[in-house]
Each structure stands twice: as C-alpha cells, then as structure tokens.
Structure 1
C-alpha cells in the first residue's frame, strides 16, 4: 500500500489511481462478456448461412443480395463467422485473460464490426439488428480506446512513482 509523505494513509493520487485500476478491470470483464457473446452470435449466424446458403435457416431472402456481388449467403456467412465471429471471440478471451494486447484486439474487432455493418446496410438496406451491432461495435471500440489511453496513463503513473522509464 502506498502512503503519503506524512504516513497517514494513501495519498489522494494513489486512491484515484487504485480506483481507476479497479474500474478498468470491471470494464475489461464487461468487454469480455459482450465480445464473446457477439462473437458467438456471429459464428452461429455465419455458420447457418454457410450450411444453408439460401438463407432459409435464419429467414434471409436471396433477393436481398441483388445489389451485392454475392449470389447466395455462403460467402457472407464465411465473412461473418470468419472475420467478425473469430475476432470477437479472440478479443473476449484476451480480455478475460487480461492480455496486454486485449484492448488493441478489441478496438480492431469493434471497428471491423462497424465497417461490416455499414457495408451490409449500404448493400442490402437497413435492418434494426444492424443498428444494434453498429452500437455494439462502437461502444466496444470506444471502451477499448479508453483502456488503451488508461494503459498509457498507468504506465506514466508507474514510471513517475517508481522513477523508471523516464529520460536518462
């Protein structure tokens, strides 16, 4: 436990730092849960599109693809499961393990989901589920950015407390 120079308990700066670390752990765990659930949904939906490329297992019509380069739902299913699903499951597992690159992978996954949904919206038109996943990708991406910034701040704080990493 860090104490102030008067040795009367933790200094204000250390209390704020410790609260920030605890809040970061909670945000990391929340990201992990949402990422794994999002990844599982993408893996499931993509797999159903691969198994039945006519879209019948999930209520998709082939005529929705008329403005796209696709003739059936197989390749969109591969992209959904392979890119979005895999990225989010990996991000969630890294977050759960508190891996040092977890926030970066979360940011990439969140941004990738936003791009995926925007392209889908442009090609086949709006569906309310796209809004849900656009929001999910945006919130996860923003949370990951916050974690990355917090990580830099924690590194700077540790360096200032312990006198490491500064100019020599």
Structure 2
C-alpha cells in the first residue's frame, strides 16, 4: 500500500467527514430553528420537486450517510483495519452518489464540482492503494 496514497486519502476523508458532519448539522439546526441560520444561499424553492419539505432530512442524510461513512473509513484507514480500503471505496462512491442526486434537485454550484472531484480522487487513491497502477507484474511483451 503506497504510503503517500494512504496519507492523501486520510486527509481527503478527514476534510469530507468534517465538512459533511458540520454541514449536515447546520442544515438540521437551520431546519429545526425555522430558518437557515448557518447556511447561506439555500432557498426553499430548491426543495420543490424533491421528496423533502425542509432541509431536516437532507441534513440528517448528509451528516449520517456521507459524514458517517467518511468518518468510519477514516478511522479504519488510520488504524489500518482489515477492510479499510473497501470502506474507503464505499465512502468515495457514497459521495459521488450524493452529488449526483443533489444535482437533480439543486442548480449546479462550484462546491458540487469540488466534492465530485474529491469523490473521484478517493476512488483513484483506492485504486493506487490496491496496486492497480504499478508495473510490478507487467506481462512480458
């Protein structure tokens, strides 16, 4: 397992876990307080056509699903637990799915592109950690 890929993946997972937990928490607090106290630019009309009437459920999903999966993958990778690479792949795909679904309901923002790129980076780093891009066992030509 390349050490540089592991370190970069840990950093990406930490940032995504932290921002997902904080962002989800802000959506939850904003929804329960009756106004968006912490998140600027989120309008109620973004929820039109979605299954949600407030940002409460999206906030819970963001914190628990995206943030929770990334936190779990981070902790597993940090401890070098068995299955940590699989958990990291799941976290990367969870982020990509989150962004795909989000873009169905919310107009495109640069932040979506950044997080999509982060999800792709996670998948790429997992592939590096699995040794997919090494020439160690290249077939003879």
Fold equivalence (TM over 0.5): yes
TM (normalized to structure 1)?
0.72
Distance in 1 (CA, whole Å) between partners of 2:112 and 2:72 is 22
Please point out which of 116, 119, 123 is paired with 1:141.
123
Q: Which has the larger radius of gyration?
A: 1
RMSD: 1.9
Unmatched 5+ stretches in structure 1: 1-20, 157-168
Structure number with greater CO (CA < 8 Å, separation at least 6) is: 2
Q: Deviations over 1:96-147 (max 9, x none)?
A: 1122311110100000100100110111121110000000011101211232
Give the length in aligned residue pairs.
Answer: 131
Please point out which of 63, 68, 72 is paired with 1:90.
72
Does the CA contact (< 8 Å) of 2:5 and 2:128 recur in 1? no
Give 1 or 2: higher helix fraction: 1
TM (normalized to structure 2)?
0.85
Unmatched 5+ stretches in structure 2: none
Shift of 1:148: 2.7
Does the CA contact (< 8 Å) of 2:66 and 2:94 recur in 1? yes
Q: Give runs of aligned pairs for residues 53-92 of structure 1, distance below 5 A.
A: 53=31, 54-59=35-40, 60-92=42-74
Distance in 2 (CA, whole Å) between partners of 1:137 and 1:145 is 13
Q: Give runs of aligned pairs for residues 95-110 of structure 1, distance below 5 A.
A: 95-110=77-92
Instruction: Tell me the equivalent position of 1:38.
Output: 16
Runs of 4+ aligned structure 1 residues displaced above 2 Å come to none
Distance in 1 (CA, whole Å) between partners of 2:88 and 2:3 is 15
Instruction: Tell me the equivalent position of 1:131.
Output: 113
Q: Deviations over 1:36-57 (max 9, x none)?
A: 1110100000001011114342
